[in-house]
Amino acid sequence: MSGKPEEVRRIAENRKARFEYELLEELECGIVLTGTEVKSLRSGGGSIQEAYAMVRGTGLWLVKSHIPEYKQGNVHNHEPGRERKLLASAREIARWHAAAKEKGVTMVPLSMYFRGSRVKVLLGLCRGKKLHDKRATLKEREDRREVQRASGRRR
């Protein structure tokens, strides 16, 4: 193993998830893709805005993610909205499945990125926020900006 860090290149990010949900835990998973899906992601496609993860059988699946068809693909091109299997240890899947059975807890993809040549998905175990929680988040963000602005003016 070399000492240099692996390059991380972001493909898609679900920015709304951090506002809509309270993040309880994170898990980095691999994802099973076809060749044309990887090529499409390398050319800058892909969306996880409406996506979520679910446990089916003993596997973890990414549902409603969108990877557009590869432009130079032929008859062997992939289906853009298909469900994709996520790769995680059986112990992690079982633990997350038990946690997701709780009322109001769901598995949401936070981001999709290349780590080296591999595509990874950062999953979040999340609980939905109430309206007052969202307002508090906005207020907190606004206060932080004001403090930064004030400290910036003094310099």
- CATH of residue 41's domain is 2.40.280.10
In a domain, 155, yes or no: no
Provide the number of structural domains found in the chain.
1
In a domain, 3, yes or no: no
In a domain, 40, yes or no: yes
The alpha-helical segments, DSSP class H, found in 1-155 are: 15-20, 35-42, 90-100, 131-154
In a domain, 125, yes or no: yes
- pLDDT tens for residues 41-84? 888 878 889 899 999 988 999 999 988 888 777 777 888 888 99
Q: What is the pLDDT of residue 89?
A: 93
In a domain, 1, yes or no: no
Selection from 95, 69, 96 nearest residue 81 by Cα: 69
In a domain, 2, yes or no: no
Q: Which domain holds residue 133?
A: 8-150
- pLDDT tens for residues 97-145? 998 888 888 999 999 999 988 999 999 999 887 777 788 888 888 999 9
